[in-house]
């Protein structure tokens, strides 16, 4: 006897009509009759006394109905508890990171996803400055972003992995006289026209912040959050832009030159950012461990 047979028998007992029970169970009447017959043969006792005018349970049929109803209810309750427990185990982690870090840490992110099927990992790509604000306002749970620390209610743990930051390059059209150099200083950028990342990015803040270390007010003609759009704009607008050097490997734009920025502040360390006093779940801790394996 299995739970399916028991359900069928209980439905027959409740309806006292094989045709009605079959309709309620979405099976044919012959299939239902066969199931009841199998059950009686297995238990070696009749369960139903049926005549043209009456439909009654036998003594053993009544016992099976009463005890079986309890068993089915307990079985359904067990299934609900299992499903509820499974739902509780499901977790969503919202991770904020830049495009560059998504590229650099994709192997670790993929490993985490493959080994944590009950965790939904949502990746939100923004600039590091914007990500700090999103983390502080609890829009994201964890940030993989660059220093400096700006928002007061978060903390950033520096990464000590094979990828621990990014260098800064100045990207110029080949027609620009600077293209003949191997490196340039901030001072040499004075008088140039810029295409720039938005203020949501640390390098965008470098240009747009009036108190930046450039020592001059840059002439920004164009801003955008997509670094590829910026690189494509350089030749047409006769501008230059400041970008992470590591993006050069992913760039397919011709007729531009990537120059090393000759400055003591030409490196931005990166880290894992969390809100202060944030209690990491086991899944979040596992994600951080994965990232640190880079």
The pLDDT assigned to 212 comes to 65
User: Which among 27-31, 78-82, 282-286 has the top mean pLDDT?
Assistant: 282-286
Token output for 40:
């009686």
Yes or no: say if 143 and 275 are a contact pair by the CB < 8 Å rule.
no
117-175 confidence digits (pLDDT tens): 889 999 999 999 999 999 999 999 999 999 999 999 999 999 988 889 999 999 999 99
Contact 123, 140 (CB under 8 A): no
Q: Which of 59, 78, 77 is nearest to 67 (CA)?
A: 59
Give tens-digit pLDDT for 14-28: 998 888 888 988 899
Tell me the pLDDT of the chain averaged across its residues.
Answer: 91
- The model's confidence at residue 105, banded by pLDDT at 50, 70 and 90, is very high
Q: What's the rounded mean pLDDT across residues 184-203?
A: 94
| CA 144 from centre of chain | 13
Residue pair 137/152 in contact by the 8 Å Cβ criterion: no
Instruction: Answer whether 0.85 is exceeded by the pTM.
Output: no
- pLDDT at position 210, please? 54
Report, as an integer, the average pLDDT of 236-258.
95
Per-residue model confidence (pLDDT) at position 213: 67
DSSP state letters, 115-128: H-TTEEEEEEE--H
Paired strand residues for 95: 123, 142
Could you give the 3-state DSSP secondary structure of residue 220? strand
Q: What is the pLDDT of residue 88?
A: 55
> Greater confidence, 51 or 56?
56
């Amino acid at each position: 006897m299995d739970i399916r047979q028991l359900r069928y028998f209980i439905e027959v007992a409740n309806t006292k009509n094989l045709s009605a029970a079959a309709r309620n169970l979405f099976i044919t009447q012959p299939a239902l009759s066969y199931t009841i017959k199998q059950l009686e043969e297995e238990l070696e006792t009749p369960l139903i006394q049926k005549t043209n005018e009456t439909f009654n349970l036998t003594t053993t049929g009544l016992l099976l109905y009463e005890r079986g109803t309890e068993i089915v209810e307990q079985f359904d309750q067990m299934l609900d508890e299992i499903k509820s427990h499974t739902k509780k185990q499901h977790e969503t982690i919202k991770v904020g990171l830049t495009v560059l870090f998504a590229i650099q840490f994709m192997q670790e992110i993929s490993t985490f996803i493959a080994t944590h099927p009950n965790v939904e990992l949502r990746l939100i790509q923004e600039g590091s400055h914007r990500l700090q604000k999103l983390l502080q306002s609890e829009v994201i749970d964890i940030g993989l972003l660059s220093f400096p620390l700006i928002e007061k209610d978060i903390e950033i743990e520096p990464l000590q992995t094979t990828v621990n930051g990014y260098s800064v390059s100045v990207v110029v059209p080949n027609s620009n006289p600077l293209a003949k150099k191997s490196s340039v200083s901030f001072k040499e950028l004075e008088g140039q026209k810029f295409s720039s990342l938005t203020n949501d990015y640390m390098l965008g803040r470098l240009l747009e912040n009036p108190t930046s270390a450039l020592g001059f007010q840059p002439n920004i003609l164009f801003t955008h959050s997509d670094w590829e759009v910026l690189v494509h704009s350089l030749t047409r607008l006769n501008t230059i832009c400041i970008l992470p050097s590591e993006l050069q490997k992913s760039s397919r734009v011709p007729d531009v030159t990537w120059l090393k920025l000759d400055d003591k502040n030409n490196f931005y360390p990166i880290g894992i950012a969390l809100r202060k006093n944030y209690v990491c779940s086991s899944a979040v801790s596992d994600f951080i461990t994965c990232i640190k394996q880079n």
